[in-house]
Amino acid sequence: MITNTELEYKGDLYPTKIVSFEHEVDSVFFHTDNSVILKVTVLRDSLIRFRFTTKGYFSNDFSYAIDKSHSHGYNFLEVSEVEDYYQIKTSKVQCRIQKIDMRLSIFDLEDHLILEDELGFHWEESYEYGGNIVKMSKSSKDGECFYGLGDKATQLNLKGKRLENFATDQYAFQKDQEPLYKVVPFYIGLHNKKTYGIFFDNTFRTYFDFCHERRNVSSYWAEGGEMNYYFIYGPQMQDVVTTFTDLTGKPELPPLWALGYHQCKWSYYPESNLKEVAAKFRELKIPCDALYLDIDYMEGFRCFTWNKEYFPDPKRMVAELAEDGFKTVVIIDPGIKIDKEYSIYKEALEKDYFCKRADGPYMKGKVWPGECNFPDYTNPAVREWWAGLFKELVSDIGVKGVWNDMNEPAVMEVPNKTFPMDVRHDYDGNPCSHRKAHNIYGTQMARATYHGVKRFAYPKRPFVITRSAYAGAQRYSSSWTGDNVASWEHLWVANIQVQRMSISGMGFTGSDIGGFAEQPSGELYARWIQLGVFHPFCRTHSSGDHGNQEPWAFDEEVIDITRKFVSLRYQLLPYLYTMFWQYIEEAIPMLKPLVYYDQEDIQTHYRNDEFIFGNQILVCPILEPNSLGRRMYIPRGHWYNYWTNQEVKGGKEIWVDTKFDQIPLFVKSGSIIPKYPIQQYVGELEFDELTLDVYYKSGKEKSVVYEDAQDGYDYKKGRYSFLSFQIIGKEKELIIQVHKEGKYDTNYSKYKINFIGLPFKVKNIEIDNEKILFDKRTFENGNYLIIDKEFTELHIIGE
């Protein structure tokens, strides 16, 4: 284990002077006289990879994180040599490499320093394991801020913190507890209103220090592997996040139902219990799309089996639930029970698919089923076999989604909670120990699961959720933040974790609403659901140890609040789906912390609570008991209070009154927010109108709405509908222009347009330059208009 003084360690080695360099296409190699080679590869004008070796040659280049189809190609690349340094220039940045010690610095084209090595690359030789402990330190200027790193349960701005990346089953983790379940060695630096990103693609245990050990130094290091990192230039945070997300991959669209509400508990059984839960949702008219089966559905926790006493006929049950709109999601863990009578165990044993210890025995550890062996998901043949195992669950029984858990991998009753480090892995033909494979084990499991569910769900879309993940896991799976606690502090943590995951490329994430461990009060549950409906993944889950956590476990008021907020989420489904589409298409994070939204405004740099849901809705949870409102920061621009339609000017902190059945919600002026009618599950209703809430603005604003068949792959063949709206507001006029793309014809034929904040009385309305008749009184009373969707310009003219 590396201790506090790793950066000052006397035994550290450093590159000496550069003695030669070669330029080959997109890469430049620099050699020092102590056999260090730095390979600089320009992937895009604002995306540069730095790879170091101390051996005099590079080992095989392999990464699970990088998406092979990421965009690359640059406009300009020039390599030059001046007296003290070499310079690599692209159309966005200039990178200088000092001849004397290989330290590097990166500038924008106006010569503003973006990032500069402090000690730069250095290393400590590891006698015990071979190879190096690889280290990097950068100078940090006063006022610099740091963001990113996945699921860390701490302030959004990581300045002053030291963090550790080692996937860990952290039951009932606490605020600031390290490490957690996921590993995203990617951070964003913000200084002088300019943003850059660093992705340290190294799966060994890594550490990041953001001016914690030394005030003006940020650093990162790994217990093995290569110093291999990507530098991403902004200058906007959006540029950094979208480039990183594109580099590590975007998911496909989930089925729309997966954006509905999910209900889970450890565990719903027997069948009658699950059916009661289903019926109660419908009776209380709380929308719900997915119900989960936790480990007790299995026979002795053996994956891919059913407890026939609790669930005598799973296929019938799943079909009956489906008739009522419920999709069944089942848990599958990595541990395979050691049991000679168990077919999956026997097959894996025969095929030699389990992970082995260094000296040959199979890796054996206790999980729910007792002693288990564990498939080596880093072996492509094992992944292929695993994918095939989902045939019965998905094709025959009709399960719609799979939940992968305990895949850090978690092992019980051992101090390190996981495999010993000598366990061997295939690592896709790059054999290694668990030191290197630990952090990506969960992702490779989720990947195999995803391919299996996808294969058998086809032509429908798969749904997979995982607890552990490494950067890039978003290509295969959604995720949740693990075993949190029913406390107010954890509500605060959940809010930050999900925002942080969003800017770390892994946007389809949520927390266990209400808290997994312990029991929330009704008030806490209500406050959590009010936040949870604004998270991309929205699921209530609990350990079930302390009672129930269905909405009806609480009083009427809480039930009403749950219904109100879950219904609002269902109304906002087209808005939510559109932000998902922007995520898969343009890598834009679905939730935007305030600093992402407006990095130029320094007021946003340390904000934790408020965030932008999609592009146009500002959300701020209530995080304390007995609150009748709260102080919050409204970002710059004009906003409408969602509940009162009152306009506020941002750029300041204000007090917002909210009743128990509200949280502060604001809509950006100029927005057009699409809404569906409230449905009890996705696809329940056929409807003939899309509601558009138009928030008046003086000036211009764009809004978009993406729709398709809500499942299946036709959207990839152009069968989608993409509406771009532009509003132009003037003193006595409002113009709405629509542009339509795509080959999908939505089922509805009309828009119901609600006008909010119109500053004038309407005299005339024109559609595509033709005056229409309208009933002034209805318009004035309701402020809405129902019109045929086939128009290109709507013109509202004031008196």
The residues carrying an active-site annotation are 405, 408, 483
* Nearer Cβ to ligand GLC (292/676): 292
**Residue 406 to residue 750: CA distance in whole angstroms:** 48
Interior CA angle at 531 toward 754 and 324, to 5°? 75
**Residue 713 to residue 322: CA distance in whole angstroms:** 21
Peptide bond into 674 cis (omega under 30): no
Answer whether 434's CB lies under 8 Å from 423's CB. Answer: yes
Instruction: Supply the minimum distance, in Å, between the C-beta of residue 208 and ligand GLC.
Output: 25
* Nearer Cβ to ligand GLC (466/616): 466
Interior CA angle at 231 toward 228 and 236, to 5°? 155
Rg (CA), the chain: 27
- 266 near ligand GLC (CB under 6 A): yes
Site for ligand GLC in 418-447 (CB under 6 A): none
Residue 548 CB-half CA count within 13 A: 11
Site residue total, ligand GLC (CB under 6 A) = 9
* Nearer Cβ to ligand GLC (71/273): 273
Binding mask 576-605 for ligand GLC (x = CB under 6 A): ------------------------------
Peptide bond into 415 cis (omega under 30): no
Residue 715 carries which DSSP code?
A: G
- 294 near ligand GLC (CB under 6 A): yes
Answer whether 287's CB lies under 8 Å from 567's CB. Answer: yes
Chosen residue from 40, 47, 102, 295 binding ligand GLC by CB under 6 A: 295
Neighbouring residues of 267: CB distance < 8 A, sequence distance ≥ 6: 293, 294, 295, 296, 297, 544
**Residue 147 to residue 599: CA distance in whole angstroms:** 12
Pair type for strands 145-148 and 162-165: unpaired
* Nearer Cβ to ligand GLC (331/692): 331
Chosen residue from 483, 523, 693, 707 binding ligand GLC by CB under 6 A: 483
Burial code (b: 16+ CB inside 10 Å, e: under 16) for 757-790 equals bbeeebeebebeeeeeebeeeebeeebbbebebe
* Nearer Cβ to ligand GLC (9/171): 171
- 271 near ligand GLC (CB under 6 A): no
**Residue 423 to residue 440: CA distance in whole angstroms:** 14
Site for ligand GLC in 197-256 (CB under 6 A): none
Answer whether 311's CB lies under 8 Å from 269's CB. Answer: yes
Chosen residue from 223, 239, 405, 701 binding ligand GLC by CB under 6 A: 405
Instruction: Supply the minimum distance, in Å, between the C-beta of residue 501 and ligand GLC.
Output: 16
- 606 near ligand GLC (CB under 6 A): no
**Residue 470 to residue 441: CA distance in whole angstroms:** 8
Please name the amino acid found at residue 171: Y
* Nearer Cβ to ligand GLC (220/306): 306
Instruction: Supply the minimum distance, in Å, between the C-beta of residue 468 and ligand GLC.
Output: 10
Instruction: Supply the minimum distance, in Å, between the C-beta of residue 167 and ligand GLC.
Output: 13
Instruction: Supply the minimum distance, in Å, between the C-beta of residue 608 and ligand GLC.
Output: 24
Chosen residue from 120, 482, 507, 650 binding ligand GLC by CB under 6 A: 482
* Nearer Cβ to ligand GLC (294/523): 294
- 408 near ligand GLC (CB under 6 A): no
- 331 near ligand GLC (CB under 6 A): yes
Instruction: Supply the minimum distance, in Å, between the C-beta of residue 684 and ligand GLC.
Output: 28
* N residues, the chain: 799
Tell me which residue has its CB nearest to ligand GLC.
266
Instruction: Supply the minimum distance, in Å, between the C-beta of residue 118 and ligand GLC.
Output: 39
- 536 near ligand GLC (CB under 6 A): no
Q: Which residues bind ligand GLC (CB under 6 A)?
A: 266, 294-295, 331, 405, 467, 482-483, 541
